Structure 1
Amino acid sequence: MKNLHKILCVAMCSTALAPAAYAQNAPTQKKIENEAIIVTATLREANVQDIPLAVTAVAPEALEKQGVQDIKTLSSISPSFNIQSSQTETQGTSIKVRGVGTTGNNTGLESSVGVFIDGVYQSRPGVALGDLVDLERLEILRGPQGTLFGRNTSAGALNVTTKKANLSEVEGFVNASYGNYNFMNVQAGVSVPVVQDVAGFRLSGTYRKRDGYLESPSGVESNNRDRYMLRGQLYMEPSSDVSIRLLADYAKSDENCCNAVIVRETELAPFSAFHGLSDDGVAQSGLSALENLSINGPEYFNGSKQWGVSGELKWDLGGAKMTYIGSYRDFDSYTAYSGGFTSRNTYTVGNLTGLQAPSVGPSGDRIKTFTQELRFQGTAFNDKFDWLIGGFYSDEDITAKQTMSLGPDYQATGSAFNFANAAGVNPLFALTALGSGPGASIGAPVNSNGSFANNLFLQDAKSWSIFTHNVLYLTDKLSVTLGARYVNEKKEASFDQINGSGNACQASINGVLLGRVPGALSPGLIGLNCFAFATPVTVTAPAAVGGGLASRLLPLPREWAQTFKDDEITYTAQVSYKATPDVLIYGGYSHGFKSGGFNLDPQSATLQNSAAILAGLATTPTPVIVAPIYADPSFKSEKVDQIEIGVKTTIFDRIKANIALFDMKMSDFQVLEFTGVQFLTFNVNSARSTGVELEMFGNLSENISANFSATYADTRYPSNCANGVVVAAAASAARLCGSSLTNAPKFTMVYGMSYDGDLGSSGWGLSLNGNLSYSSKRRTSTIPLDTNNLPIPFDYQDAYFKVNTRIGLTTPNEQFTFELWGTNIFNEITRGITTNTPLRGGAGTRSRIGFVDEPRMYGLTVRAKF
């Protein structure tokens, strides 16, 4: 009844539900046009109803009406699309299509859904999170797209095209918005002919600012907005056969992001007083904290600055059309925070003044990407054969700095929430005395306060490919599409530690290796006092066990350098039959590929057979030397095979109805899990997504358009998904098998209508829009079972509806529009990702944090154009 009440309320409030989510080129006049939707999903301009692919094409007007300002909100208009962010947006953003995508907070992981802006590949989702402004069109391609779109599109691709400069007349626009949470947004653009009908210049930009919607008891806010972007371009058509487009952009963000709500507090919280803490650092937790958007920790900082240049040359050579696209992008991000989602001073990431240890540097990523693409396209045999060939090259350099220092509350907090009262008061502090004295003596306890590490990861990735995509028209109605791409990948990566210090870790290692620490306490002591992100790689083993680096005897961070190589042939084959001018039937098979790489984590190459090595050393009278086995920091490439069958139809010359059935089988599927103390990246044997998509959109009358789209996707890990998984990840993978994929609801839906017409005889235009989106329940954790094989609390996000509405008035000369709008107007509070709170509880007692989606937003927008 609650959901029905919401639907009825929206119907009465907005008169009509939802703007056209798909690319009905929403009208610039009051009457709705029913035009062909032209897309470039096959790297050729074509009517979306004539290509044998599942493509959602979105007009910029539809994005404006829905308040879609960046790709994070695209799920409100495309049920097959999902995007979530965790601790940082620049690094921890994941895109999914049909429930499939890479979940990650690790720079070494690349996305399964590629993002392309003006034909240029964006190497990470975080790089592509800038505002969507001054667009020509946006296309969501579902399923493997590796044949044409190249790198890392095993689940789909997002193809964004911005507007070209107008060569014949001056045009421009300004949009200004104000809303709750002190939301302010200004978008503007102008296009000016430089040489009439030959060359033009276009400049556009956006500035967005908003207070955070999460707040702590002390008034600290999180998840705000403070960003801007500028884009300039020079477009030239020196002849009818040649066009040249040069683009440059600069963007910067400086935000407090992304804190999380503690949705479940550990039962061990009362033990904080036992270990000498004045409080447990958590004042707000549970469902009340989620509903009230209440957090506990201090400010989280995450920002970036980036710039890029690209050029596109199109040249009709007569027998073929040549397209060249070259680009360079420099992306620099930073992250800084303390507290571990609580108010206790446990650790600090990055360099926060007054909180980090001396000598600790910034934490963040620098990604430099250079790409080149050249392709030729033409026809033969009286246009019966449409051919395309091309080549692609990319060179990406990553510099990832991960820095952390431990604070004064670290040891007491670690003791309270991991030992409770089992080992006495502050065992992490007291036990260090067993290894801090000279020789065989016992010294004074050592505190971990001030321990730190400046970790540096470098990766140089080069990729090149050659590809072809061809359409053979067997008859006027029957065609066959064949495409293939050979991809060659090479990555060279390394982990080096600039400097570090960890006296408590050294003392703990001494005590354990000298046999002074009870065996049951040893793993916990080392795991916490040698917290991987703040542990020096230079800690040593006592002389009694041979000395040298302790990482040869215990699972501790160690430096490494390694090379990854792989190559693959991706391909597609499709048959399409144009039964009538309004009905297209198609079926196809595609094989996709996403590159493997390296887990850029300090513990990615640790010792795996420590127990055997130590047992061998303890053998008397002659020690037995056991060869060390180290974890492989690399992970394998991901592959996908998809079968898709679809029908595209046009009914009554105005309603488009498309349906697609799909079955995607992934092998060596890439997974990242945060265990509470490290990021574990591994391949599982297999994953699968099977389902159906329905899209209906068109004009119900001269002034009313409507859309309905729905996706059913059964995404799951088969029962044998752990077969062949590396030893270090075998236990984690086994707990995945039989479950659904993360953030992959079985059923999602978008429904809406839009009215655009006259306001009586006044000459003013009236627009009414509303949008209803639905998601069934979905898992939000990487793994559904804890290490005790019991279900993790708060894993599932319950089913929900979200509603957006907008009402607008346009002046008689159509120069100004005034809009009142609201998104998520019933204030549904939902979680995107749920994970372990760092260092806070074990199996069955874990504290859990949830990263919260945007609550209700509303405001006023004024648009002007000339």
Structure 2
Amino acid sequence: MKKLGFLAVSTLAVIAATPVFAQTESAESDSGEEPIIVTATLRAMDVQDIPLAVTAVAPEALERQGINDIKNLASISPSFNIQSSQTETQGTSIKIRGVGTTGNNTGLESSVGVFIDGVYQSRPGVALGDLVDLERLEILRGPQGTLFGRNTSAGALNVTTKRPSLSDFEGFVNASYGNYNFMNVQAGVSVPIAQDVAGVRLSGTWRKRDGYLKTPGGIESNDRDRYMLRGQLYIEPNADVSIRLLADYAKTDEQCCQAVIVRETELAPFSAFHGLASDGVDQSGMSALNNLSVNAGTYLNGSKQWGFSGELKWDLGGAKLTYIGSYRKFDSSSTTTGGFTANDTYTVGNGATTSRPGILPSGDHIKTMTHELRLQGTAFNDKLDWLIGGFYGDESIRADQTMTLNADFQRTGGAFNFGSAAGVNPLFALTALGNLGVPVNANGNYAENRFLQDAKSWSIFTHNVFNITDQLSLTLGARYVKENKDASFNQLGATTGAGASACQASVNGVLAGTVPAPLRAGLIGINCFPFATSVNLTAPAALGGGLASRLLPLPRVWSDTFKDDEITYTAQVGYKPNEDLLFYAGYSHGFKSGGFNLDPQSATLQNSAAILAGLATTPTPVIVAPVYADPSFKSEKVNQIEIGVKATLFGTIKANLALFDMKMSDFQVLEFTGVQFLTFNVNSARSTGAELELFGKLSDHISANVSATYANARYPKDCNVGVVAAALASVNRLCGSTLTNAPKFAGVVGLTYDGPLNSSGWGLLINGNINYSDRRRTSTIPLDTNNLPIPLDYQNAYFKMNARIGLTTPDERFTFELWGTNLNNEITRGVTANTPLRGGAGTRSRIGFVEEPRMYGLTVRAKF
């Protein structure tokens, strides 16, 4: 912190000393530097005049650095982080300043809101399409709930696409080819259909690439196969009215996402003892990471989405009216097999050859409708810039999860029941058709789980700028938000029946008298859950008669309602002593809605061991009331203090510094325990730090950018205060640790030459940048159940180097570029998790989801 303070003081001193000199230089228009206009406050303003921490990126800068989707944005903004796990459509999380929601549960909403042309994208996976034909991109850091509404407690990503031209015919085509058989085509055309009145714009992109992960048998994973089309109609019937209509369609069909075995379990030999396959893995640990080697299995991920939106702007004279309405439909599907083993254990989904014919697919189906109306204007001789508005959103979710058990399931589970004892204890000499000697077979058993959720949100808001003097301004904003969610879980079908009683009775008979009741309950759950179905959470059957399927940690049918409301607000002071300098300070309160854990294990029985022990009490059994987990979680809140300074140095260099302190309460966490996805609220979390941005021209043709973020994002040591009992053990292991994927320091350094090659008229582009990330934890929980650090869950610090060199024809119509990303081929992990079918339980085996290795290729650009 001392170094951080020294950096802040030093930078402020340099900036404060500069204005007198800077005012003697030529103005921006004379130097050729155009102001960067953004809409972070829903007003078109120079980014240097906004009392907020905003990173604004022009489309030319995105092209120079090869950024074609939001997953690459960390290479220009070190405060921005995005990671994906098993499925990109469900398992993508975005973080700003180390703060964000981690997990692949559709019931969790992001802490970083994504907006495309003013339309809220309901989940990060919905917004993973290619970035093509953009006007600008803005990364807003810190709570943005007053203006941007839902689920922006950590920040927002605001993307604006290019409007149709009303006067000129224009277009472009970009084609790329690279390693891993990478192919990408982007194109767009704008046509005026009524001169200066109406125009249309069509744009699209197609991207395909082989997978960079391979099994010993040569099967690839983590490939790319996606396309997107967008159409627009823009009309300006007169100077006061504009209408913009947009429609888009996108599809992905990919083999994603596999994981490397970064830690092999010591129990692996017992799979071989029971006649199981060798897992198809010839490497694990660092050698597997370096060689990008994974096990066999099927991992499919696909999605289709479409939507349309409309924007009306109307200058009423004394005020300006803006309306934005939208409707979006998103459908995803996924298939996984084997639980990261090569054994034929189970299939989730229906896209694999081992899945049961006729079963439902696994995936999400999300429909979203939004309406926003704003009215804004000025008063008191422009001393007040006022804005009022309202928002309504209606979202419906259908989440399906189908699991089918396959031939190797029982033998795989049995191999790990007692670890090293399995090799000598005849109790575990299992056959293909029986587990613990049970004369029933789990092969072919299945469950079709369905979640339904309907969420409605409405809000009213105001955001006002008081220009107290020409140099001093005060911004006050507030928003009232009302959230309502109705959700339910049911099993549409499952095979249970005859096997359930036989399995439980047999296991209990084998273990009775030799295994204590609490341990016996766990073994019954492990070995017999394939034969049991869900029961009603609200009306469980009466207990008694010994073992029953209701005692197992299995899905419980439930239906519930979540309601919450909140007032978010912001207050900011800006002081601008001259045109080149802005000091600001602000306080913001943000909010992210709570909801429900949409996972089959979200409402399981919590005290089966106590119930069994009570039933075993002699001479009179004791009936212990069942306790079920609560599938809901609370809303997340954040309070932030931010102070900063923005300066223009020497007429061409922008220097921005922000210091921040974010305090979260009821922070939402999703943990994969190895048996279930557990969602809970942590009492508190905090992120404090500083961000520095330096960018601009060093000469007519040379520009540079330097960005650095220090963020100490962590859980306080007392973060377990008031936590519910069901989550206390997990939260205790979090307290005192850093947040997931939150490096303390990250930075970017870039240099660009964009000018003449020689006197021939050809242009030359040379761009290079280096990205650095400090050590970060890639797992949700830092300690195992024995409170010991989990090996290999930390990604060590690393550098990644990117470069691009291009030639442009004298008429500037064609550009030829050679490019490379991650040129030093640094192999890094974004997410680490455990895999119970390899390790049996706990953290014996760990898998890592690997980020892209070295990529390189050629791009040809044409414009007309």
Could you tell me which amino acid in structure 2 is paired with residue 526 of structure 1?
I
Aligned 8 A contact 1:179 1:857 in 2 = yes
Give the equivalent residue in structure 2 for 1:774.
Answer: 772
Residues 73-113 of structure 1 deviation map (CA, whole Å, 9 limit, x = unaligned): 11111100000000000000000000000001100000000
Could you tell me which amino acid in structure 2 is paired with residue 476 of structure 1?
D
Once the two structures are overlaid, the 10-residue window that deviates more, 69-78 or 153-162, is: 69-78
* 1:469 pairs with one of 460, 463, 488: 463
Give the equivalent residue in structure 1 for 2:342.
Answer: 343
Residues 590-628 of structure 1 deviation map (CA, whole Å, 9 limit, x = unaligned): 000000010011111112233333344444555444332
TM-score after normalising by structure 2 = 0.93
SS at match of 2:312: strand
What pairs with 1:353-392 in structure 2 (closer than 5 Å)?
Answer: 353-392=352-391
Structure 2 unaligned blocks of 5 or more = 1-29
Q: Percent of aligned pairs with the same residue?
A: 76
Could you tell me which amino acid in structure 2 is paired with residue 758 of structure 1?
P
Residues 453-508 of structure 1 deviation map (CA, whole Å, 9 limit, x = unaligned): 11001100000000000000111111100000000000000111011124655544
* 1:510 pairs with 2:510: no
Once the two structures are overlaid, the 10-residue window that deviates more, 502-511 or 680-689, is: 502-511
Aligned 8 A contact 1:418 1:840 in 2 = no
Structure 1 distance, partners of 2:434, 2:87, is 38
Cα distance change, pair 425–343 in 1 and its aligned pair in 2 (3 A) = farther
Give the equivalent residue in structure 2 for 1:537.
Answer: 534
Structure 2 distance, partners of 1:775, 1:745, is 6
Give the equivalent residue in structure 1 for 2:472.
Answer: 478
Could you tell me which amino acid in structure 2 is paired with residue 558 of structure 1?
R
Aligned 8 A contact 1:513 1:542 in 2 = no
What pairs with 1:733-752 in structure 2 (closer than 5 Å)?
Answer: 733-752=731-750
Give the equivalent residue in structure 2 for 1:139.
Answer: 138
Give the equivalent residue in structure 2 for 1:588.
Answer: 586
Aligned 8 A contact 1:434 1:511 in 2 = no
Shift of 1:335: 0.2
Shift of 1:273: 2.2
Cα distance change, pair 420–621 in 1 and its aligned pair in 2 (3 A) = closer
What pairs with 1:434-583 in structure 2 (closer than 5 Å)?
Answer: 444-502=438-496, 506-511=501-506, 517=512, 518-519=515-516, 521-530=519-528, 536-537=533-534, 546=544, 550=548, 552-583=550-581
Structure 2 distance, partners of 1:271, 1:515, is 21
Structure 2 distance, partners of 1:105, 1:158, is 20
* 1:718 pairs with 2:700: no
SS at match of 2:416: helix
Shift of 1:851: 0.3
Could you tell me which amino acid in structure 2 is paired with residue 455 of structure 1?
N
Cα distance change, pair 165–539 in 1 and its aligned pair in 2 (3 A) = closer
Structure 2 distance, partners of 1:143, 1:531, is 44
Give the equivalent residue in structure 1 for 2:653.
Answer: 655
Give the equivalent residue in structure 1 for 2:288.
Answer: 289
Give the equivalent residue in structure 2 for 1:333.
Answer: 332
Give the equivalent residue in structure 2 for 1:109.
Answer: 108
Aligned 8 A contact 2:390 2:461 in 1 = yes
Structure 1 distance, partners of 2:350, 2:533, is 18
Cα distance change, pair 129–723 in 1 and its aligned pair in 2 (3 A) = same
Give the equivalent residue in structure 1 for 2:23.
Answer: none
Shift of 1:725: 1.7
Give the equivalent residue in structure 1 for 2:421.
Answer: 422
Structure 2 distance, partners of 1:510, 1:522, is 12
Could you tell me which amino acid in structure 2 is paired with residue 811 of structure 1?
T
What pairs with 1:392-431 in structure 2 (closer than 5 Å)?
Answer: 392-422=391-421, 424=425, 427=428
Give the equivalent residue in structure 2 for 1:221.
Answer: 220
Aligned 8 A contact 2:111 2:592 in 1 = yes
Number of matched residues?
828
Aligned 8 A contact 1:412 1:426 in 2 = no
Give the equivalent residue in structure 2 for 1:597.
Answer: 595
Give the equivalent residue in structure 2 for 1:118.
Answer: 117
Could you tell me which amino acid in structure 2 is paired with residue 369 of structure 1?
T
Aligned 8 A contact 1:357 1:406 in 2 = no
Structure 2 distance, partners of 1:543, 1:388, is 56
Residues 27-59 of structure 1 deviation map (CA, whole Å, 9 limit, x = unaligned): xxxx99411010000000000000100000011
Aligned 8 A contact 1:258 1:301 in 2 = yes
Structure 1 distance, partners of 2:841, 2:713, is 27
Aligned 8 A contact 1:412 1:428 in 2 = no
Structure 2 distance, partners of 1:396, 1:721, is 32
SS at match of 1:839: helix
TM-score after normalising by structure 1 = 0.92
Could you tell me which amino acid in structure 2 is paired with residue 466 of structure 1?
I
Structure 1 distance, partners of 2:511, 2:270, is 26
Give the equivalent residue in structure 2 for 1:695.
Answer: 693
Q: CA RMSD in A?
A: 2.3
SS at match of 1:788: coil
Structure 2 distance, partners of 1:288, 1:556, is 38
Shift of 1:354: 3.3
Could you tell me which amino acid in structure 1 is paired with residue 71 of structure 2?
K
Aligned 8 A contact 2:300 2:351 in 1 = no
Aligned 8 A contact 2:355 2:404 in 1 = yes
Shift of 1:445: 2.6
Structure 1 distance, partners of 2:841, 2:788, is 9
* 1:838 pairs with 2:836: yes
Could you tell me which amino acid in structure 2 is paired with residue 537 of structure 1?
S
Structure 2 distance, partners of 1:750, 1:42, is 26
Give the equivalent residue in structure 2 for 1:205.
Answer: 204
Give the equivalent residue in structure 1 for 2:158.
Answer: 159
Structure 2 distance, partners of 1:672, 1:33, is 49
Could you tell me which amino acid in structure 2 is paired with residue 489 of structure 1?
E
Aligned 8 A contact 2:277 2:342 in 1 = no
Structure 2 distance, partners of 1:136, 1:464, is 29
Residues 191-217 of structure 1 deviation map (CA, whole Å, 9 limit, x = unaligned): 000111000000000000000000001
Structure 2 distance, partners of 1:582, 1:328, is 42
Could you tell me which amino acid in structure 1 is paired with residue 672 of structure 2?
F
Cα distance change, pair 535–213 in 1 and its aligned pair in 2 (3 A) = farther
Structure 2 distance, partners of 1:704, 1:543, is 75
Aligned 8 A contact 1:333 1:366 in 2 = yes
Give the equivalent residue in structure 2 for 1:28.
Answer: none
Give the equivalent residue in structure 2 for 1:826.
Answer: 824
Residues 774-799 of structure 1 deviation map (CA, whole Å, 9 limit, x = unaligned): 00110001011011111101111010
Shift of 1:731: 0.7
Aligned 8 A contact 2:411 2:432 in 1 = no
Cα distance change, pair 144–544 in 1 and its aligned pair in 2 (3 A) = closer
Structure 2 distance, partners of 1:171, 1:433, is 69
Give the equivalent residue in structure 2 for 1:36.
Answer: 35
Residues 413-458 of structure 1 deviation map (CA, whole Å, 9 limit, x = unaligned): 12223422435357495899899xxxxxxx8532322221110011
What pairs with 1:235-314 in structure 2 (closer than 5 Å)?
Answer: 235-314=234-313
Aligned 8 A contact 1:514 1:544 in 2 = no
What pairs with 1:52-91 in structure 2 (closer than 5 Å)?
Answer: 52-91=51-90
Aligned 8 A contact 2:267 2:420 in 1 = no
Cα distance change, pair 771–353 in 1 and its aligned pair in 2 (3 A) = closer
Residues 323-376 of structure 1 deviation map (CA, whole Å, 9 limit, x = unaligned): 000000000000012121221111111113530235432110100000000010
SS at match of 1:559: strand
Aligned 8 A contact 1:551 1:606 in 2 = no
* 1:230 pairs with 2:244: no
Could you tell me which amino acid in structure 2 is paired with residue 330 of structure 1?
K
Aligned 8 A contact 2:59 2:134 in 1 = yes
Could you tell me which amino acid in structure 1 is paired with residue 296 of structure 2?
G
Could you tell me which amino acid in structure 1 is paired with residue 229 of structure 2?
L
Could you tell me which amino acid in structure 2 is paired with residue 592 of structure 1?
G
Aligned 8 A contact 1:573 1:588 in 2 = yes
SS at match of 2:73: helix
SS at match of 2:780: coil
Q: RCO (CA 8 Å, sep 6+): is it higher in 1 or 2?
A: 1
* 2:786 pairs with one of 785, 788, 792: 788
